[in-house]
Amino acid sequence: MKTLRAAVAFLLFALAGAIVALFSVHTGPDVWPFSSGLWLSVLVLTVIAWQGLSTLAAFRSRNARHQRLADLAVPAIFGLWLVFLWEVVTVGANVPQVLLPSPGLIVARLFTSADVLLADFRQTFLQAVLAGYALGCLGGFLVAILADRVPFLKRGLLPLGNLASALPIVGVAPIMVMWFGFDWPSKAAVVVIMTFFPMLVNTVAGLAAASVQERELLDTYAASYWQSLVSLRLPAAMPFIFNALKINSTLALIGAIVAEFFGTPIVGMGFRISTEVGRMNLDMVWAEIVLAAVAGSAFYGLVAMAERRLTFWHPSYRQRGV
């Protein structure tokens, strides 16, 4: 309890200092006698905040909920502090907006251009990413089942699938734009090709995950191939399949955005980023980046949540006592 009190005291002091610093930066230099005083106090505040974080990181509680709150608070406060430093430095040192807009400007842009961002999000994420992700993952899964049925095919495909994960697959984007036109189907095609191989390799590996004993048990039950697949080997492969789904959730967004550099209609996240860079509207570009990061994290988080619900039996979850 003592450590917690000390940590909170440090952090509250740092917070108060941060608010004063932000206020003085935005109202002008007359609050501080000279600017070096501002930088010195920001440095001191950072040291104090770090001290508070170190103390909080060492906090141990018997109450699991308190412990988890403390564990979540550390990275959250660290992130907030980084944003504060970003704001103070960009505003206080008059960093040109072309170089790095301040977080305040980016947030303002998020609200003022919400309609444009929403249209881009629909074009890139809801159409290209989701369609390509679904098709690519399903295709990889089905080919993995086929390869599992035909061992010769498996031995031929697997090394090629492993090799494909090292190749710059994003490069097929210009070809897809030629085949499927400028609109979202060409982006979806790139996403399909990018997500296919991780799913194939992981599913094949997962289908081999069930132990010999379990398989022999099903053999003694005279289970057919499909029965043992559905009731034993697919459930055992679930962690691997989810691993691929998680990898693909990040790959899909990157693939769709990069594919938009090779020709798009006048809407989409990749299109917006590349045109606004040319016009030096960096706050808009950063707003798109924030949108992409939030969308990507949320997508990943949803898949991870589904995994936790469906594979609760797996040792990696049971050990945590969650």
Partner 1 sequence: MAAAITAPGLRGISAGDAVPVAVVSLGLLVLWYAAAVWLNADLQIDAFARQGADWTTGDLIAGTWAQERPLLPAPHQVAAEMWATIVDTAITSKRSLVYHGWVTLSSTLLGFAAGTLLGIVLAVGIVHVRALEKSLLPWIIASQTIPILAIAPMVIVVLGAVGLKGLIPKAVISTYLCFFPVVIGMVKGLRAPDLLQMDLMRTYNASGAQTFFKLRWPTALPFLFASLKVAIAISLVGAIIAELPTGAQAGLGARLLAGSYYGQTIQIWSALITAALLAAALVALMSLIERAVLRAMGGRP
> Is position 285 an interface residue for partner 1 (rule: CB under 8 A)?
yes
> How far from each other are the two terminal CA atoms of the chain, in whole angstroms?
24
Q: Out of 153, 209, 217, 305, which residue is the one contacting partner 1 (CB under 8 A)?
A: 153
Q: Out of 9, 43, 83, 163, which residue is the one contacting partner 1 (CB under 8 A)?
A: 163
Could you tell me which residues come within 8 angstroms of residue 28 by beta carbon, excluding any fewer than 6 positions away? none
Residue 60's CB is within 10 A of a number of other CB atoms, namely: 9
> Is position 103 an interface residue for partner 1 (rule: CB under 8 A)?
no
> Is position 99 an interface residue for partner 1 (rule: CB under 8 A)?
yes
Residue 86's CB is within 10 A of a number of other CB atoms, namely: 17
- Provide the minimum distance between the beta carbon of 50 and partner 1 in the complex, in angstroms, as a whole number: 7
CA distance 156 to 172: 23
List binders of partner 1 among 6-45 (CB under 8 A): none
Yes or no: say if 64 and 30 are a contact pair by the CB < 8 Å rule: no
Q: Which two tokens stand for residue 88?
A: 């103070």
Yes or no: say if 71 and 22 are a contact pair by the CB < 8 Å rule: no
> Is position 172 an interface residue for partner 1 (rule: CB under 8 A)?
yes
Site map (CB under 8 A) of partner 1, residues 199-238, x = contact: --xx--x---------------------------------
- CB nearer to partner 1: give 209 or 217: 209
Q: What is the DSSP string of 133-181?
A: HHHHHHHHHHHHHHHHH-HHHHHHHHHHHHHHTTS-GGGGHHHHHHHH-
Q: Out of 27, 36, 115, 152, which residue is the one contacting partner 1 (CB under 8 A)?
A: 152
CA distance 98 to 289: 15
Q: Out of 11, 14, 269, 287, which residue is the one contacting partner 1 (CB under 8 A)?
A: 269
| Binding residues for partner 1 (CB under 8 A) | 50, 53-54, 57-58, 71, 74-75, 77-79, 82, 98-100, 152-160, 162-163, 165-168, 170-172, 174-175, 177-179, 198, 201-202, 205, 243-244, 246-247, 250-251, 253-254, 257-258, 261-263, 269-270, 273-274, 277-278, 282, 285, 289, 292-293, 296-297, 300
